[in-house]
């Protein structure tokens, strides 16, 4: 049977997988198009580095959100695209690293010494190696070879690797850290879900709590970063988050994005079979 990325396990075309497969190409093609049109000038490589890094992180976060989303909207088949999305993030990272090597005039000795000497590159490199290892071992064959306990233990390291990615992104952002702050807030949301769902708290109220908690933590991270890095008093950053005349801050986006999951959860709960029906189906 021909194993095409957009086919399901039975070899049939899956519209969901095909849609996600196409979507994964769009940011990269958009960057390539902008480069070709001269829209990334005067520093196309730097701009492409920025865009590929940012998309790698977004796609990585999305890959980790697939399991929670599957439960939230009660759509079991969503899991079919998790591996593809993870591999997509890895592909963006490989291009990101390739662009860096190109930017260093393909001087591999210089690339290696920069990675050793610069902390932000060291952690970026560790994350890249770790995510590559997870990508390689993400197949069914590797699950069988390693056993599900060891495989899960290895793949849980993604949360640590993600912290490395976010710190790398923070250190790489020059003045405006809105995007890494937003990524951090979404990461808090994911961790909140992991914590509460392990305690069987998966309802709309739990999600609303996660949204509020993650957005408060986001404000604190933002305030701490600006205070530590630029000396802007943390109270000013806090105040900006409550000023209706200011544009939306990362914490607001975190709140809006995570609160949007509350009605989705209500919808998902309605779609889920009632416990009695599940029992009947199991005993049938
Ligand atoms: C060997 C590995 C890596 C190298 C050499 C590397 C190199 C770089 C460089 C030089 C930049 C700065 C571009 C600029 O000046 O705007 C950058 C930015 C960035 N990188 Fe990496 N990177 C690596 C791994 C990673 C990983 C694993 C991630 C995680 C997804 C990542 C995410 C980002 C992001 C989000 C930015 C943009 C920061 C911003 O400008 O807002 N990078 N990287």
Taking the C-alpha atoms of residue 158 and residue 247, their distance in angstroms, rounded to an integer, is 33
Q: Is 68 in the pocket of ligand 1 (CB under 6 A)?
A: no
Residue nearest to atom 16 of ligand 1 (CA): 50
**Confidence at residue 207, expressed as pLDDT on a 0 to 100 scale:** 97
Taking CA atoms only, the protein residue closest to ligand 1 atom 2 is 125
Minimum-distance ligand 1 atom for the alpha carbon of 92: 30
- pTM, entire model: 0.92
Report cis status (omega within 30 of 0) of the bond before 42: yes
Contact 96, 49 (CB under 8 A): yes
Q: Give mean pLDDT, residues 117-144.
A: 96
**Whether the CB of 162 sits within 6 Å of ligand 1:** no
In the prediction, which pLDDT does 277 show?
A: 53
Ligand 1 atom closest to 124 (CA): 24
Is 125 touching ligand 1 by the criterion CB < 6 Å?
yes
For the chain, domain boundaries: 14-171, 173-284
The two structure tokens encoding residue 245: 């005349």
Per residue in 89-127, pLDDT (tens digit) is: 999 999 999 999 999 999 999 999 999 999 999 999 999
Look at ligand 1, atom 30, and give the residue with the nearest C-alpha.
Answer: 57
Q: Is the minimum distance from the CB of 210 to ligand 1 under 6 angstroms?
A: no
pLDDT tens per residue across span 2-13 = 678 888 888 889
Residue 182 Cβ < 6 Å to ligand 1: no
CA distances from 47 to 32, 34, 97, 167 (A): 11, 10, 13, 19
- Dist. CA 120 → ligand 1 center (Å): 8
| pLDDT of 173 strictly over 90 | no
Instruction: Verify whether ligand 1 is closer than 6 Å to residue 128 (CB atom).
Output: yes
């Amino acid at each position: 049977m021909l194993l095409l990325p957009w086919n399901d396990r039975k070899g049939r075309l899956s519209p969901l997988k095909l849609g996600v497969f196409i979507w994964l190409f769009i940011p990269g093609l958009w960057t390539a198009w902008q480069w070709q049109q001269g829209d990334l000038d005067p520093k196309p490589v730097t701009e492409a580095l920025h865009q590929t890094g940012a998309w790698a992180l977004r796609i990585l976060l999305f890959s980790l959100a697939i399991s929670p989303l599957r439960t939230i909207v009660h759509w079991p088949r969503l899991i079919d695209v998790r591996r593809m999305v993870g591999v997509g993030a890895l592909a963006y990272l490989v291009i990101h690293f390739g662009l860096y090597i190109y930017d260093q005039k393909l001087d591999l000795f210089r690339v290696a010494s920069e990675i050793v000497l610069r902390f932000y590159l060291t952690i970026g490199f560790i994350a890249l190696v770790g995510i590559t290892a997870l990508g390689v071992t993400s197949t069914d064959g590797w699950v069988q070879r390693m056993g599900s306990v060891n495989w899960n233990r290895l793949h849980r390291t993604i949360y640590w690797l993600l912290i490395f990615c976010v710190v790398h992104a923070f250190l790489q952002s020059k003045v405006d850290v809105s995007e890494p702050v937003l990524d951090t807030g979404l990461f808090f949301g994911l961790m909140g879900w992991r914590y509460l769902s392990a305690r069987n708290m998966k309802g709309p109220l739990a999600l609303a709590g996660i949204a509020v908690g993650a957005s408060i933590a986001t404000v604190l991270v933002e305030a701490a970063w600006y205070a530590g890095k630029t000396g802007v008093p943390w109270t000013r950053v806090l105040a900006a988050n409550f000023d209706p005349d200011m544009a939306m801050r990362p914490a607001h986006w975190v709140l809006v994005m995570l609160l949007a999951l509350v009605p989705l959860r209500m919808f998902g709960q309605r779609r889920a079979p009632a416990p009695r029906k599940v029992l009947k189906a199991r005993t049938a």
